[in-house]
């Protein structure tokens, strides 16, 4: 029996590479399209090493219609999991046009190419930010999309609306919107993990780079929020749990229409709680200093993921300590991420 072939856009990135691994292990064939803007082909080599099977990699951009048309012509794609896009909230505030161009225009170009190829099954990597700053917690799928707080969230909301309209206009389409919260962690082998270019925008890789000696100290943006310790509260889930959620979502594509699911752990953890937990598990100090709030950040939110459990058979199974331990294992074994340029300082301070 021939394996179903899945196109994973952005499949060389942090979440995309872990999802590609899960798909290979589940018996799918995987074609990855990635422009390597914030990703590494080395990640896919490690996916292949762990899975013991190969990935077809195509370096290209979702905004390049000619590239997409050729891809769909060359490969019998069963469904698409769409990760490709820009994802830093604070960066989106200063570079909104880049976010609308990549996230919105890129997604529309992808959908046009899919429709032309007769491939109308799509899992879209969305975000909890679409609920907006006024939504009560926990977030539930029955809530409407809200007034988004930053261009990143707005770009995700715009794509969601376009996909909703598309699925209503053409009964061939089956679309799953996965609204996820804050993925962290790494593959338990220590071979794969989050490797942001430049200064990390996300909390966990920043903490890990401080603990391993790659950076001097953590910057905590805001300590005057209306939370227990004044720092932001987020719903963290393991990247492997999240990746397994995408594999589960593929099964939902057999039913036409639009399907929406939250993927989260269902509880909040503050920045300072995360710092304290990381220091405890790594047995390393994590020095930090406070800085003003970042534009676009919300005080606190977390998920209600009961719908995903009931309809997809998915739930977050890995706890915070496991997320941190896997992150630390990855960072210790790869102090400079996927780069082979290991500096003396990192070699001296990365004993784990």
Q: Which residues are catalytic?
A: 152
Query: Positive or negative, the Cα torsion across 141, 147, 152, 157?
Result: positive
Euclidean distance between CA atoms 25 and 23, whole angstroms: 5
H or E segment and range at residue 331: helix 320-333
Query: Positive or negative, the Cα torsion across 137, 142, 148, 153?
Result: positive
Strands 233-234 and 269-270: antiparallel
Name the residue with tokens 């196109």.
Answer: 7
Dihedral-angle region of residue 262 (phi above 0 means left; psi in -120 to 50 means alpha; beta otherwise): beta
Q: Would you say 24 and 53 are in contact if contact means Cβ atoms under 8 Å apart? A: yes
Euclidean distance between CA atoms 151 and 153, whole angstroms: 5
Query: Positive or negative, the Cα torsion across 257, 149, 276, 15?
Result: positive
Buried-exposed string 135-160: b where 16+ CB fall within 10 A, e elsewhere: bebbbebeeebbebbbbbbbbbbbbb
Span between the terminal Cα atoms of the chain, in Å: 45
Q: Which two tokens stand for residue 232?
A: 């932001």
Q: Which two tokens stand for residue 15?
A: 């979440």
Q: Would you say 7 and 71 are in contact if contact means Cβ atoms under 8 Å apart? A: yes
């Amino acid at each position: 029996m021939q394996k179903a072939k899945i196109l994973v856009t952005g499949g060389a990135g942090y979440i995309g590479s872990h999802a590609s691994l899960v798909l290979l292990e589940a018996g799918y064939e995987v074609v990855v399209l990635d422009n390597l803007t914030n990703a590494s082909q080395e990640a896919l080599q490690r996916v292949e090493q762990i899975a013991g099977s190969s990935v077809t990699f195509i370096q290209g951009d979702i905004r390049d219609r000619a590239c997409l048309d050729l891809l769909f012509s060359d490969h019998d794609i069963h469904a698409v999991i769409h990760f490709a896009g820009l994802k830093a909230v604070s960066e989106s505030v200063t570079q909104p046009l880049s976010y609308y161009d990549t996230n919105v225009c890129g997604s529309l170009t992808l959908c046009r190419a899919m429709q032309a190829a007769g491939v109308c099954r799509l899992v879209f990597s969305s975000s909890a930010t679409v609920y907006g700053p006024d939504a009560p917690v926990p977030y539930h799928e029955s809530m409407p999309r809200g007034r988004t707080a930053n261009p990143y969230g707005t770009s995700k909301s715009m794509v969601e609306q376009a996909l909703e309209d598309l699925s209503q206009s053409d009964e061939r389409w089956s679309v799953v919107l996965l609204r996820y919260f804050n993925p962290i962690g790494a593959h338990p082998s220590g071979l794969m993990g989050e490797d942001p270019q430049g200064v990390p925008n996300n909390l966990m890789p920043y903490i890990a780079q401080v603990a391993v000696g790659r950076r001097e100290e953590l910057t905590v943006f805001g300590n005057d929020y209306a939370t227990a310790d004044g720092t932001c509260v987020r719903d963290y889930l393991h990247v492997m749990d999240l990746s397994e959620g995408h594999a589960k979502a593929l099964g939902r594509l057999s039913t036409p229409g639009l399907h929406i699911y939250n993927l989260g752990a269902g509880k909040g953890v503050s920045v300072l709680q995360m710092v304290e937990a990381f220091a405890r598990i790594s047995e390393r100090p994590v020095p930090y200093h406070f800085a003003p709030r970042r534009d676009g950040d919300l005080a606190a939110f977390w998920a209600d993921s009961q719908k995903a459990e009931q309809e997809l058979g998915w739930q977050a199974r890995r706890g915070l300590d496991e997320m941190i331990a896997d992150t630390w294992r990855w960072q210790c074994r790869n102090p400079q991420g996927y780069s082979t340029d290991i500096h003396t300082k990192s070699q001296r301070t990365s004993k784990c």
